[in-house]
Structure 1
């Protein structure tokens, strides 16, 4: 176990930090967010394991930082910088990103009401959902109800129904 920690703790921390940094910069500048969003979330979470290995490997120097109190100011500064972002996120009206809020509204809408937004007829949406193996009773159904009976997320159904760029011209 000690060999594993010494051999892989710091290299894995470095590798996953670099992935997190690159994906974070890409998300900040909105470069291909679909490509980077899930990667950033999951691999940043995965970074916790090698970080723990790194701390374990470097426990004595870490304790030295604590004894000399050189860790306190950077930790407090990090928290002080993070708090305004967290407060701002919590204070946003009705919370969440506009895209997720729109998706929530659209998945609660009846197919008959959603069809014009998706540049389709209600019958076309019902047909496409049925062809995809979902049980749809009528155009009055919502994507939430169809998703619940199919065991999928409503957002997945909506994304399948949104026309691609070629069909929107």
Structure 2
């Protein structure tokens, strides 16, 4: 029985990884044809079981990786990414019956004019326009929304908003009072 499990563990993990990789890429690009989403969700359990069996069958070799600094860095990085992925501030779905506050705030600011965002970051619109110009971003009119400015410059609206909000963070670092 153990020999059968040992000969099937790696092929099982490999097949499940292939399914998970293909369906994951399709989901990333929002191509949800056929059974892509349920296959990805449910067959991930197959991947998980295959990997766990593989690790258990090769326990001695696995523990050898725990004495290697590069391997520990990879494992630690994976654990860190897992913890960050579970942080609700990064999600797009509702939390406790309410839509994610970060998503709501981001949408409100990116659909606001540069003049409005300037009030939020306590800078003049002209100052923000000058700072953006220094980064190669052209603002034709300060009454345009962040989304419109981003679109005209071939940027993502969230990336542009990040540039503008970095102004607030910069003020905190210099110790200047924004009030």
Q: When the two structures are superposed, what TM-score results if normalisation uses the length of structure 1?
A: 0.49
Q: When the two structures are superposed, what TM-score results if normalisation uses the length of structure 2?
A: 0.46
